[in-house]
Chains A and B, each alone.
Chain A
């Protein structure tokens, strides 16, 4: 049996890597991948707690997170496509339509 603390450590290391990808990169696809990595890190934590506590509700919560992540990816990629039509770029620096 894997100790719970090691699962949580694995989860937050993954979350930190995803956060770095979302904050530091300029390519919008890699930013989206960083967000997906963060959502998956949360899933790992939920599954770890579910396995540790013997309660299956954590895995159901993870399924809902996967649902939301799939919707987020679809809408996010559609927004990227529609911005690309106007700006001809996938660079985060050019996505400043809502800047003050």
Chain B
């Protein structure tokens, strides 16, 4: 077992542990803090999988941006009453059953399809451009230019929508 594999198991286990803490905490602020830790460990998993640019984006966008925004909104709306009342909908058993069923279903597919396949090879396509970031940049601005522009329009629409929705009253 190589060192990359050892670190993958350590970080994957810690990610799953923190993800479980996210969905079981009573206080939403604690959940958000555990979500940040989860995203940091996930970035470590990306580094092990040789996706360095994505690890950096994960930390910047998720741990810095999305969860930061979430924490602001949690503190904006008063959540004290939310931590007092009953925490679960009346469907914990059904939800757990569906989650376990889904895990078994995908697990059986993974087991049947990948059980006897050998381990993968290194990311050679990235080396063609001289590195992970250069490879992604070159591909993003040539072959995937149109989806890139569509994503920018989507972000603009999301920004306008969020401002309009969160605004108290529209002045005319």
Contacts and interface: CB of A to CB of B under 8 A. Distances in A.
* Majority secondary structure, B binding face: helix
Interface string A36-64: 11001001100110111111110110111
Interface residues of A, number: 73
A54 B125 contact: yes
Given A1-B5, A3-B120, A17 B20 contact: yes
Given A36-B62, A40-B39, A55 B120 contact: no
Interface of A: 1-10, 12-21, 23-27, 29-30, 32-34, 36-37, 40, 43-44, 47-48, 50-57, 59-60, 62-64, 66-75, 77-82, 84-85, 89-93
Contacts, number: 255
Nearest to B101: A16
Interface of B: 2, 4-5, 8-9, 12, 15-16, 19-20, 22-23, 25, 28, 31-32, 35, 38-39, 42, 45-46, 48-51, 53-54, 57-58, 61-62, 65-66, 69-70, 73-74, 76-77, 79, 81-82, 85-89, 91-92, 94-96, 98-100, 102-103, 106-107, 110-111, 114-115, 117, 119-126, 132, 135-136, 139-140, 144, 147, 151, 154-155, 157-159, 161-163, 165-166, 168
* Majority secondary structure, A binding face: helix
23 contacts: A2-B4, A2-B49, A8-B110, A10-B45, A20-B23, A23-B95, A25-B87, A29-B32, A29-B70, A30-B31, A34-B23, A40-B38, A40-B62, A47-B46, A50-B51, A51-B51, A52-B120, A66-B62, A67-B154, A68-B151, A74-B69, A74-B162, A75-B158
A93 B25 CA distance: 19
Nearest to B76: A81
A29 to B, nearest CB: 4
A66 B154 CA distance: 12
